Chains A and B, each alone.
Chain A
Amino acid sequence: RLKESGPGLVKASETLSLICTVSGGSIDSDAYYWGWVRQPPGKGLEWIGTVFHDGSTYYNPSLNSRVTVSLDTSRTEFSLKLRSVTAADTAVYYCAGSLNFNYFNPWGQGSLVTVSS
Chain B
Amino acid sequence: QSVLTQPPSVSGAPGQRVTISCTGSSSNIGAPYDVHWYQHLPGTAPKLLIYDNNNRPSGVPDRFSGSRSGTSASLAISGLQAEDEADYYCQSYDSGLSGSVFGGGTKVTVL
Contacts and interface: CB of A to CB of B under 8 A. Distances in A.
Given A94-B46, A110-B45, A50 B102 contact: no
Contacts of A50: 99-100
A102 B99 contact: no
Contact of B91 (A49, A59, A103, A109): A103
Interface residues of B, number: 25
A35 B98 CA distance: 14
Contacts of B100: 35, 47, 50, 98, 101, 104
A29 interface: no
Interface residues of A, number: 23
A94 B34 CA distance: 22
Given A102-B34, A102-B36, A105-B51, 19 more contacts: A35-B100, A44-B104, A44-B105, A46-B102, A47-B101, A49-B99, A50-B100, A58-B98, A58-B99, A61-B97, A94-B46, A103-B34, A103-B48, A103-B51, A104-B91, A105-B48, A107-B46, A107-B47, A108-B45
A23 interface: no
29 contacts: A37-B46, A44-B2, A44-B89, A44-B102, A44-B104, A45-B38, A45-B46, A45-B91, A45-B105, A46-B102, A47-B100, A49-B99, A50-B100, A58-B98, A59-B99, A60-B97, A94-B45, A98-B100, A101-B100, A102-B36, A102-B52, A103-B34, A104-B36, A104-B48, A104-B91, A104-B100, A105-B57, A107-B47, A109-B45
